[in-house]
Chains A and B, each alone.
Chain A
Amino acid sequence: MMSGGFLLGVSILAGLVGAVSGVGGGVVLIPVLTYCGIDIKRAIALSLLSVVAVSNSAASTYLRRHLPNLKANAFLGLFAVIGSLVGASITLASGRRSLFVICGGIMLLSGLVLWKRRKEDWTPSPPLDAGSQRLVMAGSYYDYTEKRTIHYRARGVAIAGPLMFGTGLVSGWLGFGSSALTVLVQDLVMGLPPKVSLTTSNLVIGVMALAGTSVYLEAGLIDPRLAVFVILGVPLGAWIGSKVFVGLTNRVVRIVFLAVVIIFGVEMIAHGVRGV
């Protein structure tokens, strides 16, 4: 059994990385916990708890700065929760390996797109499609690094909805990786600024993880001996991370996320190949 102090430190790091990258704490927690001998299912259960904790803590800071878009959160959250519940109800383990590999592949391909765009600044979306116009997902935020107010409008909601269902499905079925896909949908499909994508993702993944956590709670997979340290460490790290995030430019935010997408992609393919 790992020491409480070690897990507290890892949880603080997970919270920090999760808040800055918009993907929750799983990217740090799952590899460390499984390396320390914790069963993968218990590691995923704790990871989902950490996602809720990151979401609560980081989104609190981001909302005060008016970064997330509440309408985008409502729209994406609906599809994500339906997908998550459908995914959680799929008990067949046979398709998991290939799904892990497919999701990992999608992430690495998305990473390539992000890599090509790494030197580009965010630019406003082209003219809106009918669905996006009807849902009026527009907003603005004050960018402290650029010292100006950035206005934006979402596009591609007709594609983003079904994609978020798929993302929720991944969350409920596989247990992790979906948070990065949530950011990718907003960044690459909806054309939202990276800061808005990441902070809105922080809100969406909290609700999506909550729907999935219920299954793990019922199965008794949330270990309280470890959960207490995750609950203490993750919000603390996320709070520090959210303070750092506000001072980053959209370009740096995208590069940090790119690194996380590559790590997630490799990790998911490895899980698929190993068959866990």
Chain B
Amino acid sequence: MRDVAKAKWVAQFDMEAFVSAILRYGTLLSMSLVVMSLILRFGERGQRSPDKALQGTNVLHFMLEEFSSMRSPSTVAFGLAHLGVATMLLTPYVCVLASVLYFAIVDRSRTYAMMTGLVLVMLTYVLFLG
């Protein structure tokens, strides 16, 4: 009975719709963070844009630095803008992760699971460890 339900779920699973949702919500979150940053910045100094350099050894280091620097209200605007950029960049990464799981578990295609897995490993190294 459980196997039948599982097979039905696998047959009905719409991967395109799932990846589409990841991309849509990732983009909306990124845009929301940037809008909040602009509102805060505009209210604070009358300027509409952050002016701190966007730099880090990798995305992980960059995000951790932003979180730790968001202690005072004056730095929140910078942090939100930078997190908006990071969210935009990390959205495709989440899609690759979802693709690996889909090809490995739902589609059961070893070749494509390995292809997307390799891409995930390379992106993980570049974005978080490099």
Interface residues of A (CB under 8 A from B): 4, 49, 52-53, 55-57, 59-61, 63-64, 66, 68, 70-71, 73-75, 77-78, 81-82, 85, 135, 203, 206-207, 210-211, 213-214, 217-220, 222-225, 227-229, 231-232, 235
Expressed in whole angstroms, the minimum distance between the Cβ of B63 and any Cβ of chain A is 11
Q: Contact: B85 with A56, CB < 8 Å?
A: no
**A225 CA / B41 CA spacing, docked (Å):** 11
Task: Please name all residues of chain A whose beta carbon is closer than 8 Å to the beta carbon of B78 when the two chains form the complex.
Answer: 224
Interface residues of B (CB under 8 A from A): 15-17, 19-21, 23-24, 26-27, 30-31, 34-35, 37-38, 48-59, 62, 78, 81-82, 84-85, 88-89, 91-93, 95-96, 99, 102-103, 109, 111-112, 115-116, 118-119, 122-123, 126-127, 130
Between-chain CB contacts (< 8 Å), 30 pairs: A4-B49, A49-B85, A52-B88, A57-B23, A57-B27, A60-B23, A61-B20, A74-B103, A74-B112, A75-B112, A77-B119, A78-B118, A81-B122, A210-B93, A211-B123, A217-B54, A217-B56, A217-B58, A217-B62, A217-B89, A218-B55, A218-B57, A219-B55, A220-B55, A224-B51, A224-B82, A225-B49, A225-B51, A232-B34, A232-B35
Task: Please name all residues of chain A whose beta carbon is closer than 8 Å to the beta carbon of B15 when the two chains form the complex.
Answer: 70
Q: Contact: B48 with A60, CB < 8 Å?
A: no
Q: Contact: B27 with A53, CB < 8 Å?
A: yes
**A172 CA / B82 CA spacing, docked (Å):** 23
Q: Contact: A56 with B26, CB < 8 Å?
A: yes
10 shortest interchain CB distances as A-B pairs: A220-B55, A63-B20, A60-B23, A225-B49, A63-B16, A60-B24, A206-B92, A56-B27, A224-B54, A222-B54
Task: Please name all residues of chain B whose beta carbon is closer than 8 Å to the beta carbon of A73 when the two chains form the complex.
Answer: 99
**A66 CA / B18 CA spacing, docked (Å):** 11
Task: Please name all residues of chain A whose beta carbon is closer than 8 Å to the beta carbon of B30 when the two chains form the complex.
Answer: 56, 231
Contact of B123 (CB < 8 Å), options: A210, A220, A229: A210
Q: Contact: B115 with A75, CB < 8 Å?
A: yes
With A59-B20, A74-B115 already in contact, the answer to whether A85 and B84 are too (CB < 8 A) is: no
**A268 CA / B88 CA spacing, docked (Å):** 27
CB closest chain-B residue, reference A233: B31
Q: Contact: A56 with B38, CB < 8 Å?
A: no
Interface of A, secondary structure class, is helix
Q: Contact: B17 with A81, CB < 8 Å?
A: no
CB closest chain-B residue, reference A82: B122
CB closest chain-B residue, reference A239: B27
Q: Which one of B51, B62, B78, B95 has the greatest number of beta carbons of chain A within 10 Å? A: B95
**A249 CA / B59 CA spacing, docked (Å):** 40
Q: Contact: A70 with B16, CB < 8 Å?
A: yes
With A74-B115, A218-B55, A227-B54 already in contact, the answer to whether A56 and B92 are too (CB < 8 A) is: yes
CB closest chain-B residue, reference A211: B126
CB closest chain-B residue, reference A48: B89
- Contacts A70-B15, A217-B89 given; 9 further ones with Cβ under 8 A? A56-B91, A59-B19, A74-B116, A77-B116, A85-B122, A217-B59, A218-B55, A224-B50, A228-B84
Q: Contact: A207 with B54, CB < 8 Å?
A: no
Task: Please name all residues of chain A whose beta carbon is closer than 8 Å to the beta carbon of B52 when the two chains form the complex.
Answer: 224
CB closest chain-A residue, reference B28: A235
CB closest chain-B residue, reference A1: B49
CB closest chain-A residue, reference B112: A74
Task: Please name all residues of chain B whose beta carbon is closer than 8 Å to the beta carbon of A213 when the two chains form the complex.
Answer: 89
Q: Which one of B16, B35, B78 has the greatest number of beta carbons of chain A within 10 Å? A: B16
With A228-B38, A228-B49 already in contact, the answer to whether A220 and B115 are too (CB < 8 A) is: no
